[in-house]
Structure 1
Amino acid sequence: MCRECVGYPRYIVVGRAGFGKPVIQFNGHYDVVPAGSGWSYNPFKAVIYDGRVLGRGAVDMKGGIAAFIIAVKVFLSRYKDFRGSIEIALVPDEEIGGESGSGYLVKYISKPDYAIIAEPSNSSSIWIGHKGALWGFVEVFGKQSHGSTPWKGVNAFEYMAKIATRFVEVYRNVLKSRVSVYDYGVERGAMPTINIGGEVKGGVKINVVPGYYAFSFDRRVIPEEKLDDVEKEIAEIVNRIAIDYPEIQVKISITNRLNPALTKPESILVTKMRKAAKAVIGFEPKLTVCVGGLDLHYYIEQGVDAISYGPGPGENAHTVDEYILIDEIEKVANVYIAFLESMLLS
């Protein structure tokens, strides 16, 4: 299931309080991306400064984990009798796709009625979904030969460059007419996108005519689209271009499929969380769809209503000198408490 996990055990930690339904689960991933260079502080030793907690994973997403642990602890200290159950789930591997974390959790350990992932949406915004993604490579097969006799070969790099240029020009023209009806919180976020060349493979030596080259594609998918249709669309465009180059072979390989996810804005989970937030911060958070990928799809694919709502500022995720605002942790923790009260005491 997880190549990176071999020899490195991962742990999914689940705690539960209460009995029966509804089961409300707070989800947080404890893995982080590498620190990188240029930090002003030790990235793996939390520093508290000027109302902030600095460190790798502070906002993505140890701050969210802290917020829901505080909220559950306070709720349980105030109320001994309530209906339903509260779960806290700490998962690994979100940063490498989440299949061995939230994916395994929902399929084999716990399938709640409602899930709140404490990713850093900021207290003023609720992510009700996220874009999907289709990743893969366009592979070009030519004929390898000695660099001193290029006429004996078919240079796969040259043809890859031609195909890549034509592909992205044609495909961007197709995609520019599509716009999602949902709010993404950023300019142009509502459009599906295509990015090529994040990875390029091929070539063996400077004095060899390359017989193989490949370029990657990263297609981001809005909720109104289906992955199968997107894959078919890419294949049709590439194959139509490849017809003009009979001296080579072209193949498409898919490396990752991420379904877009969406919880209906009118769902109980969304409406109750917005009302709880208004009671705490004075206004209802904006409902947006995240342009990146989240673990939400694992829940939604299993029929579980799920949202992402957690303390920010989210734009600091994965950056040097990453930080979270302590005030945001406190706000969101209080929103969680108000949400639990509305769901389990009424």
Structure 2
Amino acid sequence: MTGPIDPVALTADLIRCASVTPADAGAQDVLTQALEAQGFTVHRFTSGEAPHGPVENLVAIRGEGAPHFAFAGHSDVVPAGEGWTAGAFEPAIRGDLLYGRGAVDMKGAIAAFIAAAERVQGHTGTLSLLITGDEEGPAIHGTRAIIEWMDARGIRPDMVLVGEPTSDVRLGDTIKIGRRGSINAWIEVPGTQGHVAYPHLADNPVTRLVRILDRLQRWHLDDGNAWFQPSNLEVTDIEVASGATNIIPGTARARLNIRFNDEQQGAALEAEIRRVTAEEAPLARVEAMISGEAFLTEPGALSSLVSDAIRTVTGVEATYSTTGGTSDARFLSQIAPTVEFGLPNATMHKLDEAAAVEDLRVLADVYEAVLRQVFRV
């Protein structure tokens, strides 16, 4: 790549890499070439094994000392699915939009990171990019592995900006300063299969499972707070495979998810699920997985820095929000103040995902403005 980095062209180069989690498909080779050309030292390593790995991770560092500002994101994407107007990994500009899987979530932001970094060189302090190939998957071998890699070397950023697509109606209208936590639970209630006409010879597990779910659905978690909406529990699947209308099933299963705010802790929620289940069905089995705890970066220096940059470049007044799903900010917020800001999110994970060409260029301008504030250049 010669001449100034065009975030649109670099986004297109990244889209051509079919980096569906955990595959890299050359995406981090593209990043390495662009970053080394502007003076970054690029460290790459793999983590994990099949089926959730190996995962490609990248840490690029330029400069030394304080302040240390980090851009963070992911080069992996969700599967394309069927029904695209053209190839999902064949970037195409139609009208004012660049189409392709990952244009919005979040190869466009990574390209904007790199374009901005190219414009702000010779700075005092440290600039790093933390890029994983495992955000859209189980997130076991990605950002958590990057944090471990940095900890082992005594590297810790002072501030982190994650390029997730946070904007709602227009670029710049929303900055995420926190996210809710998430816990999944699987409940399996055993019984004794039998004929429906002879219930005394069987043991119907559905009755107990229904009682468990009823109690959990009536559980008042909290009323939310100044920055978070109320926590909510949703039953996402019920499975009873009796095979016929006249059979009492031998097993009944359910799956549920809780999205919780910072009034809650994942371990306490898991314990309550287990307690209720044990009271209604002592022989039931519960599995739980906490995907991440809720976090909040209180409005302050970092959020002001980003909102000032948005206002300067676009004239838009950003709103602070904690809505939406989880992101790798849940891990990064444990080591440094972390906020998220990126493209409008209307088409992420959808067929014909697309980013506005102008938004990609303006996003690079905003990131450049952030860096100029951080490094005072």
Query: Do the two structures share a fold, i.e. TM-score over 0.5?
Result: yes
Aligned to 1:217: 256
Q: 1:300 to 1:56 in 2, by over 3 A?
A: same
CA contact (8 A) 1:12 1:105 kept: yes
CA contact (8 A) 2:193 2:203 kept: yes
What is the CA–CA distance in structure 2 between the aligned matches of 1:208 and 1:277, rounded to whole Å?
Answer: 62
Which residue identity is paired with 1:300?
A: S
Residues 1:229 and 2:268 aligned together: yes
State the Cα distance separating 1:224 from its structure 2 match.
2.5
What is the CA–CA distance in structure 1 between the aligned matches of 2:197 and 2:118, rounded to whole Å?
Answer: 73
Q: 1:72 to 1:5 in 2, by over 3 A?
A: farther
Counting only pairs closer than 5 Å after superposition, residues 133-172 of structure 1 correspond to structure 2 as 133-145=182-194, 151-164=200-213, 166-171=214-219
Aligned to 2:36: none
What is the CA–CA distance in structure 1 between the aligned matches of 2:157 and 2:50, rounded to whole Å?
Answer: 27
Aligned to 2:147: 106
Deviations 1:50-75 (A, max 9, x none): 21111111111111111111111122
RMSD: 2.4
Counting only pairs closer than 5 Å after superposition, residues 75-154 of structure 1 correspond to structure 2 as 75-76=120-121, 80=122, 82-109=123-150, 110-122=155-167, 123-145=172-194, 151-154=200-203
CA contact (8 A) 2:59 2:146 kept: no
SS at match of 2:320: strand
What is the CA–CA distance in structure 2 between the aligned matches of 1:238 and 1:42, rounded to whole Å?
Answer: 47
What is the CA–CA distance in structure 1 between the aligned matches of 2:373 and 2:243, rounded to whole Å?
Answer: 66
Which one has more relative contact order, counting CA pairs under 8 Å at least 6 apart?
1
Aligned to 1:336: 367
Which residue identity is paired with 2:289?
A: T
CA contact (8 A) 2:81 2:351 kept: yes
SS at match of 1:320: coil
Extract unaligned runs of 5+ from structure 1. 184-189
Residues 1:294 and 2:319 aligned together: no
Residues 1:306 and 2:338 aligned together: yes
Counting only pairs closer than 5 Å after superposition, residues 1-346 of structure 1 correspond to structure 2 as 4-5=50-51, 8-76=53-121, 80=122, 82-109=123-150, 110-122=155-167, 123-145=172-194, 151-164=200-213, 166-171=214-219, 174-175=220-221, 178-182=223-227, 190-196=229-235, 198-201=236-239, 203=241, 205-206=243-244, 209-239=248-278, 242=280, 249-266=283-300, 268-301=301-334, 303-312=335-344, 314-345=345-376
Q: 1:204 to 1:92 in 2, by over 3 A?
A: farther
Count of residues in correspondence between the two structures: 322
State the Cα distance separating 1:104 from its structure 2 match.
0.8
Extract unaligned runs of 5+ from structure 2. 1-46
Task: Please give the TM-score of this superposition, normalised by the length of structure 1.
Answer: 0.84
SS at match of 2:322: strand
Deviations 1:190-236 (A, max 9, x none): 1211110x234553754864322210110000122222332233344
Task: Please give the TM-score of this superposition, normalised by the length of structure 2.
Answer: 0.78
State the Cα distance separating 1:5 from its structure 2 match.
4.4
Deviations 1:86-129 (A, max 9, x none): 11222111012323111111122353221111000122211111
